[in-house]
Structure 1
Amino acid sequence: MGRTVNTDGKPRLQAGALTAMVLDVLAAHADVAMSVTEISREIPGRSSGAINAAGLAMTRRGEVTLLPGRPKRFQITPTGLTLTSATAASTGS
């Protein structure tokens, strides 16, 4: 049986929850590209490695763009914005 908490005692997120959180942060700052560190400041308690992995997965799906250079910087795409709008509409947010 899987763990219900992380090693630091925080509850584990459901599948896709961190990706949705990252997408929401990027949507709130749609006019700028954000580094993994900047994103992690807005999602306290979640590892920068997990945030980076979520960003890379969203890049493969076309939801965000990975800009060239270091540090890695992600910016939401129109496709990603559509997803956040659809999520907000379906949850009543």
Structure 2
Amino acid sequence: MSVTYVIEFDVREGQRETFLKLLGDVLSNMKHEETYRAAALHVSPDNPSRFLLVETWADHQEVLDVQLHRPYRREWHAALPELLEGPRRISMWSPVYT
């Protein structure tokens, strides 16, 4: 069963462009993964430093075991402490009706 991750980010002042570039690289690469289903990045209309990413994948365990360890994610994960005001807020959702 597919899983959707809803991830909230608060980006540090002065880090918006780096955040968007690094995340854009990850999003561009993950579109080619077999278990990828969809992703959309949103920005708050009230705060240009607050973002919401919604990602859907075919299988949660495969995301944990394989996708999070892809080489194209290394630079992104390493940069997060410098890019963000605090930890990402991540929630998982399962489909009920599609």
TM-score, reference length from structure 1: 0.32
Q: Say which structure is richer in strand.
A: 2
Q: Say which structure is richer in helix.
A: 1
Larger RCO: 1 or 2 (CA < 8 Å, sep 6+): 2
